[in-house]
């Protein structure tokens, strides 16, 4: 007998220590049952809805990678046309591949049209569902199956795409970045985003035990390290102005974060590893400086 | 004609509960309630939503679903939760 009162039910097939399951749980906890969720293909969709089962205790629809935001727009428009929009929240929850790479055109269109919905990107920094291929969210120097580190390469050559800034450029009234390691912060931001009228965007950093290569018990710890090293700045941007920044009390060196994961392990053995770590530290310092963390 | 159209896969909400993921577990979390300060961090940080508040304010684990990831034990500020190798 299932005893939980959570809207995201147990029994789903997420890995032990899954970040997406945590993200889904926090989002539903924050928004409540009066919401409609759209999820494109990805880890979250695959493990939460193995046919004929569903872990979602709210209305939920599966879309393609590329039309998540379009499906959410359609739901919003339909509810409005039927006069049933009331205070029903519409939430699209995509992974980094679905958001940053494949779905960005549909997402851009939906934000341009100004539909009243919230898009949440759960960013675990690669295509984890299909076996850790590089995405636009993969950070600099991380090894993935399509950017393997070896004699000819140190891993991913390009820096992570700054998706929140892209969404901000659409004139969104609310753009926020958060992490599953800070549940209260995340729940507050997701709730606020759904309450604001217009297209709002929340980008959630989510450490993936399988793809990043760390023990399942460290999911939240790794998320916290990303924030404490300033590699993942958490902030709120309302109508174009930064209105809230998560201040770091004890800033930690990036080595601590990198050392804990297999995808950065090569940086500690290859000849020019120290130089690459220095570059990653520069990225963190730039964040700290830019956003006054 | 319309009767032949597929309406898509419609499933019952929350129906994954029929799948008892507790069988995945290698390490089993055990509470030592004497150290517990009832902060609820374990409940919040459980990806399976299988930590439940009891009437006396402590927490218990629904072993039907616990996959033994150990996040609760790792996040507990008072080391209340011990992970022990499960023998079945």
Tens-place pLDDT, residues A119-144: 999 999 999 999 999 999 999 999 99
* Alpha-carbon distances of A139 from A143, A154, A155, A264, A267, rounded to whole Å: 9, 12, 10, 10, 13
Min Cα–Cα distance to chain B from A288, Å: 26
The string of pLDDT tens digits covering residues A12-43 is 999 999 999 999 999 999 999 999 999 999 99
The string of pLDDT tens digits covering residues A234-252 is 999 999 999 999 999 999 9
The string of pLDDT tens digits covering residues B1-14 is 456 766 778 889 99
Percent of chain A residues past pLDDT 90, beyond the cut: 94
Contacts of B44 in chain A (CB under 8 A): 183
Contacts of A6 in chain B (CB under 8 A): 49
Contacts of B68 in chain A (CB under 8 A): 16
Question: A10 vs B65: CB contact, 8 Å cut-off?
Answer: yes
The encoded tokens of residue A255 equal: 């080595």
Peptide bond into A52 cis (omega under 30): yes
Mean of pLDDT over chain A: 94
Find the residue in A nearest to B21 (Cα). Answer: A11
pTM of the model: 0.94
Which residues in chain B show pLDDT less than 70? 1-3, 5-6
Specify whether the CB–CB gap between A19 and A209 falls below 8 A. yes
pLDDT band of residue A293 (cuts 50, 70, 90) is: confident
For the segment(s) B20-85, the CATH number from 3.40.1360.10, 3.30.70.20, 3.30.450.20, 3.40.50.300 is 3.30.70.20
Min Cα–Cα distance to chain B from A22, Å: 5
Confidence (pLDDT) at A2: 63
- Superfamily of A19-291 according to CATH: Thiamin diphosphate (ThDP)-binding fold, Pyr/PP domains (3.40.50.970)
Tell me the helices (H) and strands (E) count for chain B, helix number first. 2, 4
Specify whether the CB–CB gap between A21 and B48 falls below 8 A. yes
Confidence (pLDDT) at A129: 93
Confidence (pLDDT) at A142: 95
pLDDT band of residue A1 (cuts 50, 70, 90) is: low
Does the pLDDT value for residue A260 go beyond 80? yes
Which of A13, A14, A16 should one mutate to test binding to chain B, selecting the residue with the greatest count of B CBs within 10 A? Answer: A16
Contacts of B47 in chain A (CB under 8 A): 14, 17-19, 21-22, 25, 219
The string of pLDDT tens digits covering residues A180-224 is 999 999 999 999 999 999 999 999 999 999 999 999 999 999 999
Q: What ranges do the domains of chain B cover? A: 20-85
Confidence (pLDDT) at B3: 61
The string of pLDDT tens digits covering residues A56-99 is 999 999 999 999 999 999 999 999 999 998 889 999 999 999 99
Concatenated DSSP letters of A122-167: EE-SSBTTTT-B--TTPPTT---SSS--SSS--S--SPPP-HHHHH
A249 near B CB under 8 A = no
Confidence (pLDDT) at A52: 87
Confidence (pLDDT) at B2: 54
Confidence (pLDDT) at A82: 95
Q: Give dist(CA B65, CA B84) in Å, integer.
A: 17
Confidence (pLDDT) at A5: 82
Confidence (pLDDT) at A69: 96
């Amino acid at each position: 007998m299932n005893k939980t009162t959570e809207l995201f039910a147990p029994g789903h097939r997420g890995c032990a220590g899954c970040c997406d399951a945590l993200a889904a749980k926090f989002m539903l906890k924050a928004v409540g049952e009066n919401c409609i969720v759209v999820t494109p293909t990805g880890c979250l969709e695959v493990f939460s809805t193995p046919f004929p089962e569903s872990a979602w205790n709210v209305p939920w629809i599966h879309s393609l990678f590329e039309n998540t935001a379009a499906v959410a727009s359609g739901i919003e428009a339909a509810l409005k046309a039927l006069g049933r929009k009331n205070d029903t929240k519409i939430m699209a929850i995509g992974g980094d591949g679905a958001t940053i790479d494949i779905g960005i055109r549909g997402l851009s269109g939906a934000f341009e049209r100004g539909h009243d919905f919230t898009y949440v990107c759960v960013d675990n920094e690669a295509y984890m569902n299909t076996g850790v291929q590089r995405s636009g969210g993969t950070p600099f120097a991380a090894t993935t199956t399509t950017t393997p580190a070896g004699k000819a390469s140190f891993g991913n050559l390009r820096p992570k795409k700054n998706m929140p800034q892209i969404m901000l450029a659409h004139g969104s009234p609310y753009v926020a970045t958060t992490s599953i390691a800070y549940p209260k912060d995340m729940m507050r931001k997701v709730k606020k985003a759904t309450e604001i009228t217009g297209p709002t965007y929340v980008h959630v950093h989510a450490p993936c035990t399988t793809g990043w290569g760390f023990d399942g018990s460290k999911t939240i710890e790794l998320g916290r390290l990303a924030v404490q090293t300033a590699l993942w700045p958490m902030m709120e941007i309302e109508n174009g102005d930064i209105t809230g920044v998560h201040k770091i009390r004890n800033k930690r060196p990036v080595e601590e974060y990198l050392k804990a994961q297999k995808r950065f392990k090569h940086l500690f053995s290859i000849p020019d590893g120290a130089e690459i770590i220095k570059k990653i530290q520069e990225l963190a310092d730039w964040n700290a400086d830019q956003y006054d963390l | 004609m319309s009767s032949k159209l597929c309406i898509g896969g419609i499933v019952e909400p929350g129906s994954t509960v029929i799948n008892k993921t507790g069988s995945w577990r290698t390490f089993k979390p055990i509470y030592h309630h004497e150290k517990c300060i009832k902060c609820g961090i374990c409940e919040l940080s459980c990806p399976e939503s299988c930590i439940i508040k009891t009437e006396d304010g402590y927490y218990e684990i629904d072993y039907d679903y616990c996959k033994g990831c150990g996040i609760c034990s790792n996040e507990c500020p008072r080391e209340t939760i011990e992970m022990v190798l499960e023998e079945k």
